Amino acid sequence: MENAAYVGLSRQMTLRRELDVVANNIANAETTGFKVEQLLVGTEVGERARNDAVRPGVSFVLDKGLGRDYSQGALEQTDRTLDFAIEGEGAFFVVQDGAGEAYTRDGAFTLGPEGRLVTGQGLAVLGDGQEILFDPALGSPSVAADGTISQNGVQVGRLTAVRFDALSVLEKGGDGLYRNTSNAAPLEAADARIHQGMLEGSNVNPILEITNLIEIQRAYERITKMIENANDLSRRSVERLGKVS
């Protein structure tokens, strides 16, 4: 009966973590380029007692980390010259920060010092491995679907998108950034299309996430009741044994 309580407790721990994940999804339903996440749950078999080789091991519920859905979000028209959206799953803009290259789907860029194209956090946006520079005297830039940047009819750079063979190498950082945790080199996403004057919305389905919240709450309540019943049965068993003895 103690095992039943421990197994239930292990599931409650993952449900609390799952609740945090779903709540974060809902909070980011309007965040540009956000990708919905879900908790990956597995089992862990506990070791048997040394003097009990007959019974099988008990399986506990295990938090195995987060899974992320990189599917395309809806493209939203903004008409801002320096807003960009990628059409193509698993492709990212490349930015530069103090730790090296990072990757993002948030294309809400702006102009920084000396005409550099930067993110909202001031990180330089890279194109073909170089910073992208604009000359304000040449007027507003125009960006083609392949990322070619022109000013006053003159090509001044290229906004590129990259992807990885396995998206599992990406680790989520802050401010909508992802980092490469492996030695895998990014590849140019030649089939991706860049849209100027648009941003990619979150791929969170709010109704589905609210439904998940309700299911998590109900599951937590059911397990709490199971643990209470197991503890009550254990208590009554001890009381009866005491009366017999």
**Residue 62 banded pLDDT, cuts 50, 70, 90:** confident
Over 80: is that where the pLDDT of 58 sits?
A: no
Mean pLDDT of 214-227: 92
**Above 60 in pLDDT, residue 163?**
yes
Q: CA-CA distance, 8 to 126, in Å (whole number)?
A: 49
Percent of the chain with pLDDT over 70: 91
**Tell me, what's the pLDDT at 46?**
66
What are the beta bridge partners of residue 208? none
* Residue 61 clears pLDDT 90, i.e. is over it: no
Q: What is the DSSP letter of 129?
A: T
Say what the pTM is. 0.84
Calpha distance 245→243 (Å, rounded): 6
Q: How far apart are CA 154 and CA 161, in angstroms?
A: 21
What percentage of the chain reaches a pLDDT higher than 90? 61
pLDDT digits (tens, 9 = 90+) for 5-51: 778 888 889 999 999 999 999 999 999 999 999 999 887 776 655 54
Query: What pLDDT shows up at residue 60?
Result: 80
Residues 6+ apart with CB under 8 A from 242: none
Q: Which residues of 188-226 are buried (b: 16+ CB within 10 A; e: fewer)?
A: ebeebebbbebbbbbbbeeeebeebeeebeeebeebeee
Residue type, 37: E
Averaged confidence pLDDT in the chain: 88
- For 64-78, what is each residue's pLDDT tens digit? 889 999 999 999 999
Q: What is the pLDDT of residue 191?
A: 92
Checking if the pLDDT of 1 tops 50, the result is no
pLDDT at 56: 60
**pLDDT classification of 238: cutoffs 50, 70, 90:** low
